[in-house]
Amino acid sequence: MTRSVDDPRRVEKSHQFDLPFTRDDFGPEFTWGVASAAFQVEGAWDEDGKRPSVWDEACLRGRVRGGRACLDGIDAYHRLDQDLDLLSALGIGAYRFSINWPRVFGDGRGPWNPAGASYYDRLIDGCLARGIEPWVTVHHWDMPMALEREGGWLRRATVDDFATFAAEVARHYGDRVKHWMVMNEPLSIVGHAFLGVHRRRSGLYPMAALATLHHLNLACAEGARRMREVLPQDAKIGVTHVFTLAWPYDRVGRGARARRAIDALLVDAFLDPAAGLGYPFAICPPLRPIRRFVVDGDEELARFDYDFVGVQYYGPVPTRPARLVGVLPRATVPSAEARVRSGVGVPVDPDGLLEVLRRYRSHPACRRFVITESGFGMNDRPGEDGRIRDDIRIWYARTHLERVLAAKREGIPVDGFFQWSWADNVEWLFGRSVRFGLVYIDYEDDFRRIPKDSYYWFRAFLGGETVASATVSEARRGR
Ligand code: NOJ
């Protein structure tokens, strides 16, 4: 039976959650963290021997909203101790950040740049000194511009360049870093290739997207293998993916096949090869032309047994039935929590996170999960009193944490939760216009850091209060 998009049963389903809970309900082993990425926060884009990346170039060309100003990120490169003190006061146990490829490894193939690389030594040591565990993403989209000019991910040999870089990073920091993510959201890189984000002429490039997809699958596995060779035995190696499912989630009824094909293109096209299953051609025919880039032996090369899969979930792709193609995207997804869309246009649906975890728990590529990103982006502004009232971000966190807890109670192995992001930063093409932080960045006043209400809410929650009583005003009083 087809459910209407306004079916009240979905509303009831969402209402079944509204339980007070505390941090303790997630168990003592659960990792609580915040996340960021190099390009988005560091700045210092041409200091200490750093070479340009594709995203630096996108700022210089005005492709990123705000242009050159975004090259400064949030100036995190120059404010390391101040920022780590803020994280420490928040009460988190882990900080997830990424290594900027052209900061540590020149134009992509080395040599190692000790001046740039020492920034991460200080960052890692600074975390450890404060009892914060560093979780390192090896690659969060900052491809060296020089490699991009040679073809970037369109070029198969980039797989080897990347794996060499990944192994170097592991060799340098592996004595102190125990949790690694070889790559962040390869799907997003595929999206950039599809839209020609780093080309002179934007347009739609489907074959470039498929070449990129395949090479990224090979790069993740090869990078992870090379890291495994040099890392201590107790190191955990994962990969993160954005889990965007077609909504409604039902696997039956009109449009179900087409929705399943969307899921396969956005998610299974990465998980299946990692599990040695090849590509899901049967359920996703649009993937078939990728065969042009696959050579004998690739099925084995794309395979890697990750210790964990990082789940990054922001919301689903709402769809409606359509003739011929099965379904088409629609404007919004109804839910009890109102029809909210974030500043980057993603509709909010907390149930979707539980759906993701339930659906992929039995996938052979998913041994364990960590929520490596969850958060809400908008255009926050301080009130007249200077306070930043971001209730919607608090609500977003509560409702999504509720689903994580529900998943754990169902026995799904979810080991951690990282809030995206600890501070506002450069939201890729959106530049500074969309803010995801628990901490506000005043770009007009020397990048001043101003904790938002959500920061105080998290602090109270992480300090042991229930989500219901961790009120912002109480938390602010405890300042
Ligand atoms: C996913 C990306 O990993 C991160 O860089 C980005 O800022 C967030 N999603 C929000 O869009």
- Which DSSP state fits 365? T
**How much distance in Å is there from the Cα of 8 to the middle of ligand 1?**
32
185 counts as catalytic: yes
Do residues 54 and 441 touch, judged by C-beta distance below 8 A? no
Tens of pLDDT, residues 226-248: 999 999 999 999 999 999 999 99
Summarize pLDDT for 427-440 with one digit per residue, the tens: 999 999 999 999 99
Active-site hit among 133, 148, 168, 185: 185
- Pick the range with the lowest mean pLDDT from 43-57, 118-132, 239-253: 239-253
Q: For the packed helices 114-129 and 80-90, what is the interaxial angle rounded to 10 degrees?
A: 30
Ligand 1 atom with the smallest distance to the CA of 312 is 1
Look at residue 12 and give its three-state secondary structure. Answer: helix
Q: How do residues 163-220 score in pLDDT, each as one tens digit?
A: 999 999 999 999 999 999 999 999 999 999 999 999 998 799 999 999 999 999 999 9
pLDDT for the residue 19: 65
Atom 5 of ligand 1, nearest CA residue? 37
Looking at the CA of residue 425, tell me the nearest atom of ligand 1: 7
* 427 close to ligand 1 (CB < 6 Angstrom): yes
CB-ligand 1 contact for 420 (6 Å cutoff): yes
Give the Å distance between the CA of 233 and the centre of ligand 1.
30
> By the 8 A CB rule, do 283 and 256 touch?
no
pLDDT, mean of residues 447-468: 92
pLDDT at 339: 65
373 is catalytic: yes
Question: Which entry of 42, 133, 148, 373 is annotated as an active-site residue?
Answer: 373
Ligand 1 centroid from CA 184, angstroms: 9
Q: Which of 179-183, 227-231, 299-303, 465-469 has the lowest mean pLDDT?
A: 465-469
Average pLDDT over residues 52-81: 98
C-beta of 55 in contact with ligand 1 (< 6 A): no
- Burial class, 341, CB count within 10 angstroms (exposed 0-12 / middle 13-18 / buried 19+): middle
Q: What per-residue confidence (pLDDT) applies to 2? A: 34
Beta carbon of 424 within 6 Å of any ligand 1 atom: no
Is 372's C-beta closer than 6 angstroms to any atom of ligand 1?
no
Q: Is the CB of 344 within 6 Å of ligand 1?
A: yes
Mutation to probe ligand 1, out of 378, 428, 434 (largest number of atoms < 8 A from CB): 428
Tell me if 104 sits within 8 A of 145, measured CB to CB.
Answer: no
421: preceding bond cis by omega (within 30 degrees): yes
Helix intervals (H) in 231-384: 256-263, 269-274, 298-301, 350-360
**Residue whose C-alpha is closest to residue 263's, from 293, 286, 291, 294:** 286
With 90 as the cut, is the pLDDT of residue 7 above it?
no
Enclosing H/E stretch for 390: none
CA dist., res. 377 & res. 374, Å (int): 10
Q: Measure 242 CA to ligand 1 centroid, in angstroms.
A: 9
